[in-house]
Amino acid sequence: MGARPYLLSRIALMAAGWDQRMPEIEIYTQPRCAYCLAARRLLTAKGLAFREIDAPHGSPERAEAIHRSGGRTTVPQIFIDGEPVGGADELAMLERSGELDRRLGIAAGQP
């Protein structure tokens, strides 16, 4: 009896260091924000799915971002599985150090 292709591919992914699920990524942004664009580009370049939340000044979404981030008033504000990461600079720093991949459950050398 042969193994199921689905099972083999899942085992191969796990052996390669991929977690069984990808964390939820949320990013609060506003229009014409260069830092928001940089964060979106980094996440997109890594092939990551994320939920973008439009949060212009004075909006309920911006108030939510400020509350969730512990008082940070700038955008973008990025969250991985509900945990605040910070903004574009912090995201880039995590990427350079390899910590972003660790938080996402991506093994070194994986896309």
Domains of the chain: 24-105 (3.40.30.10)
Mean pLDDT of all residues belonging to the chain:
85
pTM given for the model: 0.78
Is the C-alpha dihedral spanning 77, 80, 84, 89 positive or negative? Answer: negative
pLDDT digits (tens, 9 = 90+) for 57-106: 999 999 999 999 999 999 999 999 999 999 999 999 999 999 999 999 88
Distances (CA, A) of 95 to 23, 25, 45, 104, 108: 16, 14, 12, 11, 12
Nearest to 39 by CA among 80, 83, 72, 71: 80
- Return the residue matching tokens 């199921």: 4
Residues 92, 38: contact at Cβ < 8 Å? yes
Q: Which residues sit opposite 51 in a β-bridge? A: 26
Q: Which two tokens stand for residue 56?
A: 């212009």
Nearest-10 crossing angle of helices 88-97, 34-45: 30
